[in-house]
Amino acid sequence: MDLPAAPKGGLSGFVEATLKQRLMEGRLMPGERLVTRDLAARLGTSPTPVREALLKLVAGGALEMAPAQAFTVPVLTAREYAEMADIRRTVEGLAAERATAVMTPERLARLAEINEAHRAA
């Protein structure tokens, strides 16, 4: 019997990855309210994996708890935003520095392809 494979990480992992992606893309706005049952209906799952994923995101600081089985996207203060930007500049600068140590012409060409595809999108 042929059955489809479960998403990697199970349904909870699928929901978590989907919500993380939307947060990173800015498709979930600061202050936006996320309701467990609504998300479950939109994602075609039961509320349990959605609730598990939302609680993981709360534990990681990506979301906040709200009343009535809801969660919200945090609203950053100017100070919090500045702190995150400073951390990102430091970490991303270090990552770029380390990447240059192992850069090859082939990798550079691949990065140029990826950058062009990103611009076209």
Taking only the tens place, the pLDDT of each residue in 52-96 is: 999 999 999 999 999 887 899 999 999 999 999 999 999 999 999
Q: 10 Å Cβ neighbour count for 11?
A: 19
What residue numbers bound the domain in which 87 lies?
78-120
Q: 70: which strand partners?
A: 35, 66
The total domain count for the chain is 2
Q: Are residues 26 and 53 in the same domain?
A: yes
Average pLDDT over residues 1-24: 80
Q: Are residues 28 and 46 in the same domain?
A: yes
Q: Are residues 28 and 53 in the same domain?
A: yes
Taking only the tens place, the pLDDT of each residue in 22-49 is: 999 889 999 999 999 999 999 989 999 9
Is 109 within the bounds of a domain?
Answer: yes
pTM metric for this prediction: 0.68
